[in-house]
Amino acid sequence: MKKAISVFSGGLDCTVATCVYDNDYEIHAITFNYGQKAFAQELKASRKICEKMGWTHEVIDLPWLSDISNSSLNTDEDIPEVSENNLDDIDKSSETASNVWVPARNTVFTSIALSYAESIGAEIIIVGWNNEEGLTFPDNSQEFLNEFNELIKVGSPDKIRIEAPAINLNKEELVELGVKVGAPMKLSYSCYKGEDEPCGVCESCVRRNRAFKKVGI
């Protein structure tokens, strides 16, 4: 069976994206530990989902990324809280995105995933990048996806491509896709703060909650 590497945090986006390819690929999920506050909960969610779906799962530690990061995701700085009314305010969302930005995170993650893809003969790398977050996170954008795939064409001897099935979707549409492909979304964890119960007030939680509410779940 064809093989795929999934950059997998146990969150909503990557869970749905990976399930899109579940029937056609042998999935090898990778979870990164870069000192994020939510790592314990992300690991728990990732393990539950991978066990349920029959995917292999591996954790990669990146302590150096934590050491150089000034992000509130992996420092003592408080994670910003937002209201649903502010989600579509590009200025406020950009400010929040800057606060939680981890230096070159998706570039690092995807490059490591490419190494794994070459080593096991995987044809695709699955990511949960989506249009809603791509508005404020440049490493979630269509442009970033296109350029990285061009880089792989130049820099890898293998025919590997990044697949981002939600790249043109907002969160509501992503949840609808999750329903369509039978993704175990209720097992996923998206909170930045890493508490046992999702905080409900960080940007990730608020975007997730709004999407499910709009879909009627």
Annotated binding site for ATP: 8-18
Residue carrying the six token digits 């870069």:
34
Query: Cβ neighbours of residue 177 under 8 Å, at least 6 residues apart?
Result: 16, 20, 165, 166, 169, 183
What separation in angstroms does the CA of 17 have from each of 4, 6, 80, 121? 12, 9, 26, 20
CA 24 distance to own-chain centroid: 21
**33: helix, coil or strand?**
strand
Binding residues: 8-18, 191, 199, 202, 205
Q: Can you tell me whether residue 28 is helix, strand or coil?
A: strand
Binding site per annotation, positions for Zn(2+): 191, 199, 202, 205
Burial of 105 (0-12, 13-18, 19+ CB in 10 A): buried
